[in-house]
Amino acid sequence: MKKIIHFIQKSGVEDSQPDWFKRRLEILNFVGIFTGLGVGFGFSVLFLAVGYDTGVHLPAIGFFTSTPTFLYNRYLKAYKFAKLQTGSGPFILVSILLVNMAVQGREPYTAYYVVAFAFSLLPFLVWDPRESRMLIANLSFNALGLLMIPASVELFDFEPYIDMSTWDLTLSTTGVILYLSIVFSLIASYATLFLLVNFNYVAETKNQTLLQEAKENAKQIAENEKELQGNLTQIKKSQEEEKERQWINDGITELTSILRKTQSSQETFDEMVSFIVNYSASNQGALFETVRPDEMDYNKDVFLELRSTYAYGRKKFVKRQISEGEGLVGQVFLEKEPFYMTEVPEKYVNITSGLGEARPRAVFIAPLIDNDEVEGILELASFKVFGSREKEFLKQSTEIIAAHIRNTRVNERTRLLLEQSQQQAEEMKAQEEEMRQNAEEMQATQEEMHRKEREYLQRIQHLESQLESVQQPQG
């Protein structure tokens, strides 16, 4: 049964149609079934039962035309025809009955007027206010027809269409037809009013739902916008962070390139300090290198020596050597921690330009640490406060510079040791050569001595032989 009801209800309904149109089609299908079966078929049976045989064809026509309304919609897509047929068809059939009564001198009875009036309201059910032209046309036709029924005999010359001579019209005044007509009219009228009210309720409910959905959508849009704004902020922040990282990486790359240049150590320091000051938007800079007289004992007689400056006046660094713990630079060397100052003492340092001198807003002093040993100190002064990216750049720069100084010192020490080893090797080689020459001379001397010894022995033997030869004759 549910499948049959669903089949009738959804006949002609398509997904592409507006919701209001779908709703009207569903009602149209049921109104057609109601007027066809409930009214057309019911009154056909009733007319036969009470002896109104000559007029039974009128409700029968209503039965055969109204009942298949849902089929018009499903298979023929004849939506307007179905609406017009339902909106005016039953009314026309009742009007024909009333006109025939008037033509035959029968007073049209109130029961039939009530039925006609009920049928005249059907356009309110089948047409939507959005179809205002068709709704007004259909209602106007029904209203005009209802008003014209009493005057139709005087205005027009009608021949009787239905023979009512055998009808017992008391049934229409006090009998079953009167009561059934009133019941039907009430049902039809109340159903029409109920459906109209229901339409308004559904529309209002839908509007409330749409309003609530709109509010929720607005809230969701606001949340999405807030989330999007947050995402945009995060993306912007990420882009800024990436930009800062790229700025730091570019600076480190350039600094590394400077340190790799094959030039003197002093030129490297000067170019390096100049680059760091300009890249970090500082105004002054100085680099101190740790000097350890005793390489065997790193902590013995250690001091800092000024190696390079940028835009510093002569008064600041009259003293080019700073002891451990002396001043801020010496203190940073001792504590191995960077020092950042934004309230610079008046007599600490001034930045000099062609227009005069001015105190900096910030001073940054950082130790150059490699392998937990301070290889030097970097000091910068600026008219602006150092930001996070500048501090990170300087932090990485100090590590690279410290490693460079340490490697340079180790390489220099290795070079000196190598030169010393080479010199010692050459000295040893010279000594070996001298010893070899001495050995050769000693060998030559020994050979000469052996030769002379042999000569002496030979001379002695010769003399002894001569002496023996002289002594023999005398004997």
- Non-local (6+) Cβ contacts of 182 within 8 A are 111, 114
Residue 215 pLDDT: 86
- Name the β-bridge partners of 424: none
Tokens at 256, concatenated: 């590394």
> Is it the case that residue 139 has pLDDT exceeding 80?
yes
Boundary (domain end) residue, out of 201, 220, 250: 201
Q: Do residues 149 and 278 both lie within one domain?
A: no
Assess whether 143 and 269 both reside in one domain. Answer: no
Residue 253 and residue 408: Cα distance in Å, rounded?
19
**pLDDT, tens digit (0-9, with 9 covering 90-100), for 429-467:** 888 888 888 888 888 888 888 888 888 888 888 777 877
Q: What is the pLDDT of residue 369?
A: 92
pLDDT > 90? residue 376: yes
Tell whether pTM > 0.75. no
Confidence of residue 324 (pLDDT cuts 50, 70, 90): confident
pLDDT at 49: 86
**Are 301 and 187 in a shared domain?**
no
Q: How many domains does the chain have?
A: 2
Q: How confident is the model at residue 355 (pLDDT cuts 50, 70, 90)?
A: very low
Decide if pLDDT at 118 tops 50: yes
Q: Which residue has the higher pLDDT, 92 or 345?
A: 92
Instruction: Determine, yes or no, domain membership for 114.
Output: yes
User: Tell me: the pLDDT tens digits for 236-268?
Assistant: 988 998 999 999 999 999 999 988 875 667 888
Tell me the pLDDT band of 94, cut-offs 50, 70 and 90: confident
Q: Which residues of 89-125 are buried (b: 16+ CB within 10 A; e: fewer)?
A: bbbbbbbbbbbbbbbbeeebbebbbbbbbbbbbbbbb
| 108, part of any domain | yes
Query: What does the alpha-carbon distance between residue 167 and residue 49 come to, in Å, rounded to a whole number?
Result: 12
Using one digit for the tens of pLDDT, what is the confidence trace for 289-320?
998 876 655 556 788 999 888 876 544 554 57
State yes or no: pLDDT of 370 exceeds 50: yes
**378 vs 315, higher pLDDT:** 378
> Do the domain assignments include residue 393?
yes
Asked whether residue 191 falls in the same domain as residue 294, the answer is: no
Q: How far is CA 201 from the centre of its chain?
A: 42
In a domain, 55, yes or no: yes
The pLDDT of residue 50 is 84
Question: Do 309 and 185 fall within a single domain?
Answer: no
Final residue of a domain: which of 401, 419, 437?
A: 419
The residue with tokens 């105004």 is: 283
49 and 185 together in one domain:
yes
Same structural domain, 280 and 193: no
424 within a domain of the structure (yes/no): no
In a domain, 84, yes or no: yes
414 and 294 fall within a common domain: yes
Could you tell me if 184 and 282 lie in one domain?
no
Q: What is the pLDDT of residues 169-190, one digit of tens each?
A: 776 666 666 677 777 777 767 7
Whether 110 has a pLDDT exceeding 90, the answer reads no
In a shared domain, residues 179 and 274: no
Q: For a pLDDT cut of 90, what percent of the chain falls above it?
A: 22
Query: Does residue 251 lie in a domain region?
Result: no
Is 50 contained in some domain?
Answer: yes
Question: How do residues 417-426 score in pLDDT, each as one tens digit?
Answer: 888 888 888 8
Residue given tokens 């921690």 in the structure block: 337
The whole-number pLDDT of residue 153 equals 62
Q: What is the mean pLDDT of residues 43-60?
A: 87
Answer yes or no: do 183 and 43 share one domain.
Answer: yes
pLDDT at 211 over 80: yes
Domain range for residue 128?
A: 2-201
Predicted pLDDT of residue 354: 43
Q: What digits encode the pLDDT tens for the residues 97-106? A: 888 877 776 6
Assign residue 368 the CATH number of its domain.
Answer: 3.30.450.40
Domain boundary among 166, 201, 236: 201
Identify the residue with better confidence: 280 or 471.
Answer: 280
> Which residue(s) pair with 373 in the sheet?
370
Same domain for 170 and 88:
yes
Chain centre distance of CA 160: 82
What pLDDT shows up at residue 296? 53
Question: How much is the mean pLDDT over the chain?
Answer: 83
Residue 470 has pLDDT above 90, yes or no: no
